[in-house]
A and B are shown apart, each in its own frame.
Chain A
């Protein structure tokens, strides 16, 4: 009897592994493989025309934060690098915060509609995914550049007589990223608000909580998994964003993604590019660990 059960369980486990084997192999080859190559490359010496020389060196890792003086060879903090890191983190955080502030009421609005109109609103939210990111970003470019829609209209109306310079600034990058990542904030927020029991609002009001207190003490703690998931889904891709800062930030307002690309392209410093990639990965992993902790804290079942 129990031996039979044991055998059945073993068979089940074996089947489960067999079924997931293709996915596991794909993950191993396509994700872990390149990561491993990156890690190895970050400890090698740059080749003259790109690529790497198989000679061990710490230089790439030192180079992520320091630059070597051309004349006396002393190490100095690389201000340019720090500016890029800081801009990446700042813009990503800002994007996360603004998409949350805009996305929360949006998600709330959708979750409180009737089931039929809800489907329509969700559909509208996902429409941007139907178009290529590049095209969407160029569309924003078209709107905010000096000869673009906003400036033309304002000048035509006579509100301004010089175009406002918006393109190729941090603000442009930030606006673009907010637009691109907003759905990634709204969808997980919607999912958790949808599960929120609206009767708890009345319980809160009944127990003398003001609207603000109901929001802070009842709604936010209960939909927190959605907030954390949305923030992570926005923050992580924003941190490694490439297309948006490239098109809306021009060459000057680089973020980490562009900086890494530069090393593999014109910079011809593949090990530095690899080291920067691994660094980015570490930051993202820390953010993910924070996510796991925050979303499981206090909810020990489900």
Chain B
């Protein structure tokens, strides 16, 4: 099991500043990232994603705790002694060098023989499809092309781990989608461990093998995209990943009584007592005729058309608001009406109970 681990942080703490004004950018973070894994750090701005990446790259040393690479303590190694490369958010390409020279830089610093460097650079150029640009100055490239040069430059020395700090945030939507696929392809082809930082949850869900959701210097949950999405461990994760309905209620006798007075069967309610929150994703809310068996009565407040989906805003008896995501009906078909009374129920096993 431990031989599987590429990078490990053990109780890593990073504090900036002293005394009263000190900021704990990372607060006791422990994490194991496996070999050849596409691992994503996801969290809101300022939660410490970049700081964790910089600890792994060696640009910062932890206030306490350790960083391990392949089981070896590298906490005090300088960045140029770590077989770890970074794709910087700003790309940080060398403006005085051509595309090919940028890619060759790391290999030259490692003192690789000339012939090998030439061959690797050619391979990298082909990998990121920039053969035609080899001789260009980096300032003569588009944003997406610069992005690819940064990738090729970081991959050329064949690092054990590649760190990517929001590499796609400067690109427009279409290019972004393209580069997401490209990154995923490169990761599978090279078999290098990728640690990818983003605050875009959709990006995280589509690309990652595993995701760590962070908030305020803490790791909230680590798991596969499906697990994170369907089984968030707390309110923060549920709220940050995708849209969610939060319903407050009282647990008891394996059931939850919602604030509206309706009683629902919810997974995780067994053995709980007192105030709880029930979470249910909008796409797991089913609508039925008003008054149908085992449904919660509600009225349709408004309908918002999103192409394939329609968002249906509902209001329960006590005024609690909810959203249901429904497949848009085929054209011409009479759908729901605003103000209509409906009954709603949760898809089996979809609703979960969280502690507050």
Contact of B85 among A206, A213, A221 (CB under 8 A): A206
CA distance A257 to B88 in the complex (A): 53
Beta-carbon nearest neighbor of B109 in chain A: A208
Instruction: Give the tally of cross-chain contacts (CB within 8 A).
Output: 64
Contact of B79 among A199, A205, A221, A300 (CB under 8 A): A205
Interface members, chain B 58-87 (any A CB < 8 Å): 58-59, 78-80, 84-86
Tell me, yes or no, whether B217 is within 8 Å of chain A by CB: no
Stretch of B90-98, B233-241, B273-281, B322-330 that contacts chain A: B90-98
Tell me, yes or no, whether B137 is within 8 Å of chain A by CB: yes
Tell me, yes or no, whether B139 is within 8 Å of chain A by CB: yes
Convert A186-215 into 0s and 1s, putting 1 for each residue whose CB lies closer than 8 angstroms to a CB of B: 000000000001011011111111100100
A205 touching B80, Cβ below 8 Å? yes
Beta-carbon nearest neighbor of B89 in chain A: A199
Tell me, yes or no, whether A298 is within 8 Å of chain B by CB: yes
Beta-carbon nearest neighbor of A197 in chain B: B92
Tell me, yes or no, whether B218 is within 8 Å of chain A by CB: no
Tell me, yes or no, whether A218 is within 8 Å of chain B by CB: yes
A222 touching B92, Cβ below 8 Å? no
Tell me, yes or no, whether A20 is within 8 Å of chain B by CB: no
A206 touching B79, Cβ below 8 Å? yes
Contact of A300 among B80, B84, B137 (CB under 8 A): B137
Q: Across the interface, which residues of B come within 8 angstroms of A197, CB to CB?
A: 90, 92, 95
- A301/B139 contact (C-beta < 8 A), A202-B59, A202-B79 known: yes
Tell me, yes or no, whether B153 is within 8 Å of chain A by CB: yes
Beta-carbon nearest neighbor of A223 in chain B: B96
Beta-carbon nearest neighbor of A218 in chain B: B94
Convert B117-155 into 0s and 1s, putting 1 for each residue whose CB lies closer than 8 angstroms to a CB of A: 000000000000000000001011000000000000110
A221 touching B96, Cβ below 8 Å? yes
- A222/B157 contact (C-beta < 8 A), A199-B88, A207-B106, A208-B80 known: no
Interface members, chain A 258-302 (any B CB < 8 Å): 298-301
Contact of A208 among B137, B139, B157 (CB under 8 A): B157
A222 touching B109, Cβ below 8 Å? no
CA distance A176 to B95 in the complex (A): 38
- A203/B96 contact (C-beta < 8 A), A208-B110, A300-B137, A301-B139 known: no
Please report A residues at the B interface, Cβ cutoff 8 Å: 197, 199-200, 202-210, 213, 217-218, 221-222, 298-301
29 contacts between A and B (CB under 8 A): A197-B95, A199-B88, A200-B92, A202-B79, A202-B86, A203-B92, A203-B93, A204-B105, A205-B59, A205-B80, A206-B57, A206-B59, A206-B84, A206-B85, A206-B86, A207-B105, A207-B106, A208-B80, A208-B109, A208-B110, A210-B109, A213-B109, A218-B94, A222-B94, A222-B96, A298-B96, A299-B96, A301-B137, A301-B140
In addition to A205-B59, A208-B157, A218-B94, 13 A-B residue pairs with Cβ atoms within 8 Å of each other are: A199-B88, A202-B88, A203-B94, A204-B105, A205-B79, A206-B80, A206-B85, A207-B106, A207-B109, A210-B80, A210-B109, A222-B94, A301-B139
